[in-house]
Amino acid sequence: AANSIKACMVKRIEKVRRQEQQLAAQQMMGSVTEELDNIRFQAAQNQKVADEANDRKETIKNSLDAKESELQISHREYDTLHREMVALKITHRKMEEVTEASVMKVKRAERDRDTSAEAMRHLTAALQDLRDRHKKL
């Protein structure tokens, strides 16, 4: 009878130990599950933040691409205007050269005219002198 009471007590102690182990395992499992849920929640929050950051990054990239395109257009316009300015400077220099040459021609023509007028006066005077001499004869 003592052995059967002892065996019954050992079984009860084992049963209580198993229940305690199961309870501890359930508590541990509950705490692990809760921690896992927290990790999942945090991961979802982190993903949301990452998605928002990616959206902002994409918006900034699109804006940067647009600005880069505008800059390229501005560079092309600048290059075109610069070429036009250089061409205008060359044309201006040529026009100055032509103007200077024309001024020189005009001055030469004026000198020639003045020389011709002077020669004409001398010839007229010489002719008058000849007429006067001819009349005296």
- Residue-wise pLDDT for 36-48, tens only, equals 999 999 999 999 9
92-132, pLDDT tens digit by residue? 999 999 999 999 999 999 999 989 999 999 999 999 999 99
Tokens 């998605």 identify what position? 51
| pLDDT score recorded for residue 1 | 76
pLDDT for residue 2: 78
pLDDT at 6: 86
Residue type, 88: L
Distance CA 64, CA 51 (A): 20
Other C-beta atoms closer than 10 Å to the C-beta of 96 total 10
pLDDT of amino acid 3: 82
User: What is the pTM assigned to this prediction?
Assistant: 0.48
Whole-number pLDDT of residue 102: 94
Q: What is the DSSP letter of 92?
A: H
Q: Is the pLDDT at 49 greater than 80, yes or no? A: yes
How far apart CA 88 and CA 78 sit, in angstroms, is: 15
pLDDT for 37: 95
* Residue 33 pLDDT greater than 80, yes or no: yes
Give the per-residue pLDDT at 51: 97
**Is the confidence at residue 137, as pLDDT, over 90?**
no
The pLDDT score that the predictor gives to residue 42 is 97
**Is the pLDDT at 79 greater than 80, yes or no?**
yes
Give the whole-angstrom CA distance, residue 131 versus residue 137: 10
